[in-house]
């Protein structure tokens, strides 16, 4: 064997893996780690190294309400203990009330025989802990890099990166965000609607303690939530029409604090301090299918939902768990990981579950947008009925917590 042939074979071996994951956000990094922990050869392709999380830095404005199912997955990946030790705030109660009719709902972890309904955690912290675990798990990182093209073949998929390197795999996972170039390359369309709203976010300090409670008030303009943070403040998420969101973002700190206090009915007293704030557009988007030849969609590439229930990241992590289980079962049966029949199981299950949740959140947004007095009264009667019913309240509590 000549030396050039030896090098060529070695190069092919180095470039061959079981699965390539495109996108290193929370869902993509969790996918790469979950599959590597199962013993798969995995490559992760990401355009930018994530910003490191440091305890001395200000709390990231983007936070997520992690559900028990997400905590369980992260624990299985060996990441949850580090997240809890760094900076996470469990919430045991949830109080939801309607500004238009006075109806309210209270959920408690004890009703579900749990210590916490969920945890408020910074997006950056979750991604940081996952990325820190990739090397130890044997994930091959290609960063900074992008997937620019892929070609599905009978025996695998060839992936070309933006530096002209190629990777060969059985499966390509598109976890490359809501605008997913890979989804577009695969010819997969999306359905949904633009809410013509922005989510305004900030961290605020309130006069009274948050009491490990997630507070959410539904107003005519949109819901506002105060979510408990580990440092005693609340993460505020306020859904507003575009024009009103711009007005709120332009307020000085004193006026902004007063506006938030009014919007939350001063339930935790006056707002005494605010961080910097930001806004992001809201859209419902669901991919028409979750698979193409030797490719699956996952996370935001597959679905984007309204943030009123705080379940977007949790849906993505459920995608991760389903894909891991699907590929593990395929390997045990000695099946091709990228075979259409294998991927169809994942795609059917997750699109069905994600679609139901996405449309449920959309329905809630529509119902709480009702303004006709009769409909507002009916909405209040419905909320009071749920509040009085033990089983129905537990059902709603479980869904609200993502259980």
Question: For 346-397, what is each residue's pLDDT tens digit?
Answer: 999 998 887 777 767 666 666 666 566 766 666 666 666 666 665 555 566 6
In terms of C-beta distances under 8 Å and separation of at least 24 residues, what long-range contacts does 388-395 make, across chains too?
Answer: 393/105, 393/107, 393/111, 394/111, 394/112
What does the alpha-carbon distance between residue 2 and residue 6 come to, in Å, rounded to a whole number?
Answer: 6
Q: What is the pLDDT of residue 359?
A: 66
Superfamily, domain 63-125+192-282+365-400? D-Amino Acid Oxidase, subunit A, domain 2 (3.30.9.10)
Q: What is the pLDDT of residue 367?
A: 64
Q: Which fold has domain 3-60+133-190+286-363?
A: FAD/NAD(P)-binding domain (3.50.50)
Q: What is the pLDDT of residue 5?
A: 44
DSSP state of 46: -
Coil, strand or helix: which one is 306?
coil
Same fold, 3-60+133-190+286-363 and 63-125+192-282+365-400: no
DSSP lists the bridge partners of residue 236 as 202, 226
What does the alpha-carbon distance between residue 184 and residue 177 come to, in Å, rounded to a whole number?
Answer: 12
DSSP state of 220: S
Paired tokens of 290: 């979750």
pLDDT in tens, 226-253: 999 999 999 999 999 999 999 999 999 9
Q: What is the pLDDT of residue 9?
A: 46
pLDDT in tens, 247-272: 999 999 999 999 999 999 999 999 99
Strand order in the sheet with 88-91: 63-66, 118-122, 88-91
List the domain boundaries for the chain: 3-60+133-190+286-363, 63-125+192-282+365-400
CA angle (239 as vertex; 236, 245 as ends), nearest 5: 95
Q: What is the pLDDT of residue 220?
A: 87
Q: Name residues of the chain where pLDDT drops below 50.
A: 1-11
Paired tokens of 252: 């000085």
């Amino acid at each position: 064997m000549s030396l050039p042939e030896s090098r060529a074979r070695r190069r092919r071996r180095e470039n061959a893996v079981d699965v390539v994951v495109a996108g290193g956000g929370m869902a993509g990094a969790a996918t790469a780690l979950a599959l590597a922990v199962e013993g798969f050869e995995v490559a992760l392709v990401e355009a930018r190294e994530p910003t490191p999380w440091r305890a001395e830095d200000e709390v990231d404005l983007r936070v997520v309400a992690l559900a028990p199912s997400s905590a369980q997955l992260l624990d299985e990946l060996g990441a949850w203990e580090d997240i809890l030790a760094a900076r996470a705030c469990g919430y045991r109660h949830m109080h939801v009330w309607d500004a238009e009719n006075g109806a309210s709902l209270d959920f408690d972890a004890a009703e579900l025989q749990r210590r916490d309904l969920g945890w408020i955690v910074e997006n950056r912290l979750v991604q940081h802990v996952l990325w820190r675990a990739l090397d130890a798990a044997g994930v091959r990182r290609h960063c900074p890099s992008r997937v620019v093209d892929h070609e599905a073949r009978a025996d695998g998929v060839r992936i070309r990166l933006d530096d002209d390197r190629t990777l060969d795999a059985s499966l390509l996972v598109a976890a490359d965000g809501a605008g997913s170039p890979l989804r577009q390359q695969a010819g997969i369309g999306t359905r949904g609607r633009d809410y013509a709203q922005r989510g305004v976010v900030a961290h605020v300090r309130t006069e009274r303690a948050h009491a490990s409670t997630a507070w959410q008030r539904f107003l005519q303009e949109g819901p506002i939530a105060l979510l408990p943070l580990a440092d005693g403040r609340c993460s505020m998420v306020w859904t507003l029409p575009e024009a009103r969101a711009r007005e709120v973002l332009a307020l000085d700190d004193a006026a902004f604090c007063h506006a938030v206090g009014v919007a939350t009915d001063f339930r935790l007293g006056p707002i005494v301090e605010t961080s910097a704030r930001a806004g992001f557009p809201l859209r419902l988007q669901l991919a028409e299918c979750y698979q193409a030849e030797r490719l699956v969609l996952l996370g935001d590439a597959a679905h984007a939902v309204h943030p009123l229930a705080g379940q977007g990241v949790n849906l993505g992590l459920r995608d991760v768990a389903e894909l891991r289980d699907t590929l593990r079962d395929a390997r045990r049966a000695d099946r091709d990981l990228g075979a259409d029949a294998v991927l169809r199981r994942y795609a059917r299950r997750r699109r069905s579950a994600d679609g139901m949740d996405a449309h449920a959140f959309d329905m809630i947004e529509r119902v709480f947008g009702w303004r006709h007095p009769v409909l507002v009264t009916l909405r209040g009667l419905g909320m009071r009925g749920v509040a009085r019913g033990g089983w129905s309240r537990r059902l709603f509590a479980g869904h609200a917590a993502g259980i």
